[in-house]
Amino acid sequence: MNNEVQFSRGLFFALGAFLMWGLAPLYFKMVADVPALEVLSHRVVWSVLMLAVVIGLRKQWRALRSLTWSTWRRLLLSAVFVSLNWLVFIWAVAQDRVLETSLGYFINPLVSVLIGVLFLAEKLRKMQLFAIGLAALGVMNQIWVVGALPWVALVLAFSFAFYGVIRKFVQIDPVLGLFVETLLLLPFALIYFAYLIYTESLMFMQQGIALDGLLIFAGVMTSLPLLFFAAGVTRLSLTTIGVTQYIAPSMTFFLAVFLFQEPFDQQQLLTFVCIWSGLFCFTIEGLYRARQSKAKVS
């Protein structure tokens, strides 16, 4: 298969993944009446079942049995961070705070760089420092405007950044990795379901078939974008993935402002302008470095 076909297929899968992630608030709005913890539990349970089928079709059960205890421990830690990310996102959408989730995922790449410097002793280049400084100005402006720390955005950004750092040190197929993470979370989800049944507060199978179908669909919403992303990232350069990753928070931003009509004034615009400017500098610097590296190899 030639490079052009590989690139086209990779771009199709990557765009599909980011489009699904960008449209995710539409789904979670439809289940907004269900408590966030119950939605999270459904996300875990149905993801385990769907991914088990995928792993069976890909004949990866042997790879699962060969995982070391060290890998299981690291995936347990990554599962904690990704479940926190999922829970806060689900709650924020239900509370009409989609704009804050967009802000969090815009900040995420810069937070990932900062965590690399603080915990992995990576060197921070001047343009990266400038980009992080712009993002910090945006956050400080938001604190000034709102009068409180934008904790939803920061929790989403930092939890996903820590998740990425942990997964960086786990050599495992992305689909198999997500299956292990959700499998480790499964006992907690089942215990919570048992509690809901005991207290007669479980909404599943109580509010009609439409809602039940939506809650089961949580497994698809979790697993399908990852399958697309895994197929895309193996066919595209990290530079291309780095640029296209901004599609999802951009879509979320437009959904929040124009469809959900969340408040968005000039002060909030200033916050986003600072973040966007930082990301622009960060992306341009990354593209320049990638071109330099390619020239050296040539």
CA atoms of 280 and 293, how far apart (whole Å): 20
Residue 295 has pLDDT above 70, yes or no: no
Q: pTM (2 decimals)? A: 0.91
CB-CB contact of 21 with 248 (8 Å): yes
Residue 225 has pLDDT above 60, yes or no: yes
CA atoms of 75 and 182, how far apart (whole Å): 10
Segment 275-287, tens digit of pLDDT: 999 989 888 887 7
- Per-residue pLDDT, 273: 93
- Per-residue pLDDT, 92: 97
- Per-residue pLDDT, 122: 76
| Inter-helix orientation angle 3-30/247-254, to 10° | 30
Segment 230-240, tens digit of pLDDT: 888 778 776 67
Question: What does the buried/exposed string (b/e) look like for 7-17 if buried means 16 or more CB atoms within 10 Å of the residue's CB?
Answer: eebbbebbebb
Between 244 and 87, name the one with better pLDDT.
87
CB-CB contact of 159 with 107 (8 Å): no
Domain ranges of the chain: 3-297
